[in-house]
Amino acid sequence: MEELANLFHGFAVALQPFNIMVMILGIVLGVIIGVLPGLGGANGVAILLPLTFSMPPTSAIIMLSCIYWGALFGGAITSILFNIPGEPWSVATTFDGYPMAQQGKAGEALTAAFTSSFVGALFAVVMITLVAPLVASFALKFGPAEKFAVYFLAFCSFVGLSKEPPFKTIAAMMIGFALAAVGLDSITGQLRLTFGITELLNGFDFLIAVIGLFGIGEILLTMEEGLSFRGGNAQINLRVVLHTWKEMPAYWMTSLRSCLIGCWMGITPAGATPASFMSYGIAKRLSRRGKTFGKGEIEGVVAPETAAHAAGTAALLPMLSLGVPGSPTAAVLLGGLLIWGLQPGPMLFVEQKEFVWGLIASMYLGNLAGLLVVLTCVPIFAAILRIPFSIVAPLILVLCAIGAYSVHSSTFDVVLMLVFGVLGYLFKKCGYPLAPLVLAIVLGDKAEEAFRQSLLGSQGSLAVFFSNALVGTIMVLGLIALFWSALQEGYSRLRAATA
Q: Where are the domains of the chain?
A: 1-229+238-498
Q: Enumerate residues 6+ apart whose C-beta is below 8 A from 2.
A: none
Among candidates 63, 478, 154, 68, which has minimal Cα distance to 344?
154
Contact 353, 13 (CB under 8 A): no
Positive or negative torsion for Cα 231, 68, 170, 132: negative
Positive or negative torsion for Cα 425, 426, 427, 428: positive
Contact 156, 478 (CB under 8 A): yes
Cα gap 201→191, rounded to integer Å: 7
Please count the CA atoms within 13 angstroms of the CA of 301 that sit on its side-chain side. 32
What's the confidence (pLDDT) of residue 447? 83
How far apart, in Å, are the Cα atoms of 222 and each of 128, 159, 208, 403, 429? 35, 28, 20, 21, 11
Cα gap 195→190, rounded to integer Å: 13
What's the confidence (pLDDT) of residue 231? 45
Stretch (H or E) spanning 77: helix 57-82
Contact 420, 212 (CB under 8 A): yes
- Beta pairing partners, 191: 184
Count of C-beta atoms within a 10 Å radius of residue 238: 8
Conformation bin of residue 268: beta by default, left when phi > 0, alpha when psi is -120 to 50: beta
Contact 273, 327 (CB under 8 A): no
Reduced to 3 states, what is the DSSP secondary structure of residue 410?
coil
Count of C-beta atoms within a 10 Å radius of residue 164: 16
Q: Enumerate residues 6+ apart whose C-beta is below 8 A from 172.
A: 427, 432, 433, 434, 436, 437, 440
Among candidates 248, 208, 231, which has minimal Cα distance to 438?
208
Fill in the DSSP letter of residue 50.
Answer: G
What's the confidence (pLDDT) of residue 23? 86
pTM over 0.75: no
Could you give the angle at the alpha carbon of 339 between the alpha carbons of 150 and 367, nearest 5°? 80
**φ/ψ (deg, to 5) at 192:** -135, 130
Reduced to 3 states, what is the DSSP secondary structure of residue 204?
coil
Can you give the pLDDT of all 499 residues of the chain as single tens digits? 566 777 777 788 778 888 888 888 888 888 877 776 556 666 677 777 777 777 887 788 888 888 877 877 777 777 777 666 656 667 778 778 878 877 777 778 888 888 888 888 888 888 888 877 676 566 556 678 887 887 787 788 778 766 678 888 889 889 988 888 888 877 777 888 777 777 777 777 766 787 788 778 777 877 776 655 444 445 566 777 777 788 888 888 888 888 888 887 777 655 676 777 778 877 877 777 767 777 778 888 888 888 888 888 887 777 777 776 666 677 777 777 777 777 777 677 777 777 778 778 888 888 888 888 877 776 666 565 566 667 767 877 877 787 677 667 788 888 888 898 899 889 888 888 877 887 788 778 878 888 888 888 888 888 888 888 878 888 888 888 788 777 777 777 888 788 6
Residue 185, amino acid: D
Count of C-beta atoms within a 10 Å radius of residue 5: 10
- Beta pairing partners, 192: 183
Cα gap 86→80, rounded to integer Å: 10
What's the confidence (pLDDT) of residue 232? 45
Residue 319, amino acid: M
Cα gap 430→108, rounded to integer Å: 39
What's the confidence (pLDDT) of residue 230? 46
Could you give the angle at the alpha carbon of 38 between the alpha carbons of 104 and 386, nearest 5°? 50
